[in-house]
């Protein structure tokens, strides 16, 4: 059974901040990216695999694969950082059987229909609904961009930006 050091939503997935800060902060020797689109995109998958720092094993899985492997042996051995691009993939992975105690929301880019709710996190109403649903399943959801930032609980963000949802 692997030890999960961190489960994070970061729209950029494996990038400089994750490589230089979060892998070390979570004491992880492996990164598992769970993303239904990326798993079938050979070019982008290769780009992310090459972005891994030396000594860090990166695996890319679909939500179904992640759920199945979690139920089988909880991702094997070692310390693992799990990355998701968005709340939809998190929700799908949970439905497939992946379990987590906490979910850190660190970066979700801005686009039409999204509202900036925390530093580098913009949410659509659907994103907010999904995060609330994940939180209602017993997962502690919080916002934190960098290790030195204070954690901001989901309910605090929802109360400020989505009063009708919370």
Given a contact cutoff of 8 angstroms between Cβ atoms, the answer to whether 137 and 94 are in contact is yes
Q: How far is CA 155 from the centre of its chain?
A: 18
CA terminus-to-terminus distance, the chain? 35
- Tell me the pLDDT tens digit for each residue of 47-101: 988 888 888 899 999 999 999 999 999 999 999 999 999 999 999 999 999 999 9
d(CA 5, CA 27): 7
**Beta-carbon count within 10 A of 116 CB:** 12
Question: What's this model's pTM, rounded to 2 decimal places?
Answer: 0.94
The average confidence (pLDDT) of the chain is: 93
Residue showing tokens 């020797």: 29
Report the CATH fold assignment for 3-161.
Fructose Permease (3.40.35)
- Residue boundaries of the structural domains of the chain: 3-161
Tell me, what DSSP letter sits at residue 40?
G
What average pLDDT does this structure show over 34-38? 96
Q: What pLDDT score was predicted for residue 17?
A: 80
């Amino acid at each position: 059974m692997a030890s999960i050091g961190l489960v994070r939503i970061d729209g950029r997935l494996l990038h400089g901040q994750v490589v230089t800060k979060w892998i070390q902060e979570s004491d992880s020797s492996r990164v598992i990216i769970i993303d239904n689109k990326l798993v079938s995109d050979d070019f982008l998958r290769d780009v992310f695999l090459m972005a891994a720092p030396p000594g860090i094993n990166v695996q890319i899985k679909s939500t179904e694969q992640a759920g199945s492997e979690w139920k089988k042996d909880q991702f094997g051995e070692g310390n693992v950082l799990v990355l998701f691009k968005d709340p939809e993939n998190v929700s799908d992975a949970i439905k497939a059987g992946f379990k987590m105690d906490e979910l850190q929301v660190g970066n979700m880019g801005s686009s039409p229909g999204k509202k900036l709710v925390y530093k580098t996190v913009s949410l659509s109403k659907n994103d907010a609904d999904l995060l609330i649903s994940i939180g209602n399943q017993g997962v502690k959801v919080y916002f934190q961009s960098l290790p030195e930032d204070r954690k901001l609980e989901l309910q605090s963000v929802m109360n400020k930006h989505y009063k009708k949802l919370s």
